[in-house]
Amino acid sequence: MSLFDVIINIVESSIICYFIYKYFDFKQIEKLWLFILTVFTTLTIGSIFINESGFLIVVMSIVIIAFLKAFGQKINIESIIICFLSLIIDVACNVCALIIGNLVNSYISIVSLSLPEMTVLSKILFLIVALLFLKQKVTYDTNLNTKRWLTIVIIILILLVVTYLLAISYVFDNANVLINLLCAALVYVAIVLIFNIYGKLLKENEESTRIRLKNEEIRYKKENEKVLSKMSEDIYQLEHNLRYILMQVKLNEQNKKYDENIELIDQYIRNFGKFKSIINTNNPYFDYFMNQKINDLSNNGIDVHTSINISHSDDYLDRKYVEYLIKVINLFKKEATQITINIYEKQGFNIIEVLTSKNIRLTFDNSIKQLAQYLDAQYKITQDDNICIFKSIQHINKERRNEKWDV
C-alpha cells in the first residue's frame, strides 16, 4: 500500500466519521479522533485482507454502529441505515468518478485523467454529497418513523443495484460509453430522488411531531388543571374547617389547654403549607413534572421553597431539559432537609439554582453530564460549611447556543 493510498484512506475515514458525527449531533469532540482512527484502521486492514467489497461494507458498518453505541446513541433502524448509507454513498461516488474519468478520456483528447486523479475526484464528490445530505437534515430537524425509513431503504437498494451494475460494466468493459453515461445519469437521478423524498418525509413528519407535542401539551395542561382544582377544593375545606378550629382554640383557652392549642395551630399551618409550592408557569409539561417532584420531596419530609419565573416557551417542552432539572433536584434529596429551587431567565439564558443551607455531598452519575452536554448547559457547584449550591446556565434559544455566559 502506497503513501497515496494511506492519505486517501485518512480522507475517506474522516468524511465518513464527520458525516456520522454531525448527523447524530454528537458533542463529545474528544472521541471523534478515536472514531476516525478506528475507521481508518478498519478500512486499511480490510482493503488488504478482504477482497469482497460487500463484506468490507458490512464490517465497516459494524464498527461504526459499535461507536454509535459508545457515543450513547440508541441503535435503531435509522442509525443502522445511516451507517450503511454513508458507505454506499462512498462507493457510488467512487463509481461515478470512474465513469466521469472514462468519459473525459474518451471524448476530451487534450485531457487525460489517471486513476489517482479519479480517486481524488471521488472523495471530492463524497464530501459534497455528505455535506448536502447534512444540510437537508438540518433543514428539517426531526426524526422519521420506521415506515418512512423502510421507504428510503427501498430507494437505497435500487441505488445499490445500479451502482453494482456500473462497477461490473467498468471492470469488465462490456458496455459502451453511452450505456455508462446512461447509468451515471440514473445514479444521479437516484441520489436526487433520495434527497427529495427524504426532505418531503422529514417535512411531513415534522408536522406530525408538532401535532403530537401539541396534544401532549393539552394532556399535561388538563392534568395540571386537575391538580389545581383539587388544591382549590382542599383549600376550601381548610377554610370551612377554620370556624371549627377557632371554636376549639377558644374552648381550649377557657380550659387552659394551651399545649393542645399549639398542636392544633401547628397542624393547621402544616396542612395549609403544602399549597405554597404549586407551579403554574403556563408550560404544561414542565409544570406537571415539577409539581410531581415537589410533592415527592414534601412527602419525604423535605421543606421546599421555589421561585420560578420563566416564559411560555417550547424550550420547556424539551423532555431532556425537564429530565436534567429533575436529576439535579434529586442530587439534594438524600441528605437535605430543606431545598430552595430558583429557576429564571436572564439575557436570553435559562438559569437553574438548587441550594440547601448546609454542606452535603452530591453524588453525580454520567446521565447528568450527558444531559448537560446535550443541552449545552454549563454548571458549577459551590460548597462551604453553611451552604451547597448547584447552578446551571443554558441558552433558551437554539440559534444562539454558541454564545457563552459565565456561570
pLDDT tens digits, residue range 251-275?
A: 777 777 778 778 777 776 666 655 5
| Residues 268 and 205 sit within 8 Å (Cβ to Cβ) | no
- Confidence class for position 149, pLDDT limits 50, 70, 90: low
Sheet of 378-383, strands arranged across:
303-309, 338-346, 349-356, 388-395, 378-383
| Residues 389 and 355 sit within 8 Å (Cβ to Cβ) | yes
Task: Give how far the C-alpha of residue 128 lies from the chain's centroid of Cα atoms, to the nearest Å.
Answer: 25
Q: Please return the burial class of 258, using the count of CB atoms within 10 Å of its CB with bins 0-12, 13-18 and 19+.
A: exposed
Q: Which residues pair with 344 in a beta bridge?
A: 309, 351
pLDDT for 346-391, tens place per residue? 888 999 999 998 878 887 778 888 888 888 899 998 888 788 999 9
User: How far is residue 95's CA from residue 168's CA, in Å, rounded to a whole number?
Assistant: 10
Torsion-angle region of 32 (φ positive above 0: left; ψ -120 to 50: alpha; else: beta): alpha
Residues in the chain: 407
Least confident of 4-18, 160-174, 298-312: 160-174
What is the structure's pLDDT at 401?
43
**Which is more confidently placed, 393 or 143?**
393
User: How far is residue 143's CA from residue 205's CA, in Å, rounded to a whole number?
Assistant: 7
- Strands 378-383 and 349-356, sheet pairing: unpaired
Is 217 strand, coil or helix?
A: helix
Query: Going from the N-terminus, what domains does the chain have, and what CATH number goes with each?
Result: 3-213 (no CATH), 277-407 (3.30.565.10)
Q: Please return the burial class of 39, using the count of CB atoms within 10 Å of its CB with bins 0-12, 13-18 and 19+.
A: buried
Q: Give the residue carrying C-alpha cell 409539561.
A: 285
| Residues 329 and 295 sit within 8 Å (Cβ to Cβ) | no
Mean pLDDT of the chain: 78
Q: Which of 82, 88, 55 is nearest to 68 (CA)?
A: 82
- 34-41 contact pairs (CB < 8 A, 24+): 35/67, 36/10, 38/63, 38/67, 39/13, 39/63, 39/64, 39/67, 40/9, 40/10, 40/13
**Which is more confidently placed, 347 or 247?**
347
Q: Please return the burial class of 173, using the count of CB atoms within 10 Å of its CB with bins 0-12, 13-18 and 19+.
A: exposed
DSSP assignment, residue 142? S
Least confident of 64-73, 159-168, 262-271, 339-348: 159-168
User: How far is residue 297's CA from residue 249's CA, in Å, rounded to a whole number?
Assistant: 31
Torsion-angle region of 241 (φ positive above 0: left; ψ -120 to 50: alpha; else: beta): alpha
Is it the case that residue 13 has pLDDT exceeding 80? yes
List alpha helices for 50-76, DSSP H.
53-70
What is the structure's pLDDT at 400?
40
| Residues 82 and 20 sit within 8 Å (Cβ to Cβ) | yes
Q: What angle do CA 165, 169, 172 make, to 5 degrees?
A: 135
What is the structure's pLDDT at 385?
78
What is the structure's pLDDT at 329?
92
**Which is more confidently placed, 324 or 180?**
324
User: How far is residue 286's CA from residue 283's CA, in Å, rounded to a whole number?
Assistant: 5
What is the structure's pLDDT at 399?
45
Is it the case that residue 311 has pLDDT exceeding 80? yes
What is the structure's pLDDT at 221?
73
In angstroms, what CA-CA distances link 146 with 107, 149, 155, 216?
A: 46, 5, 15, 21
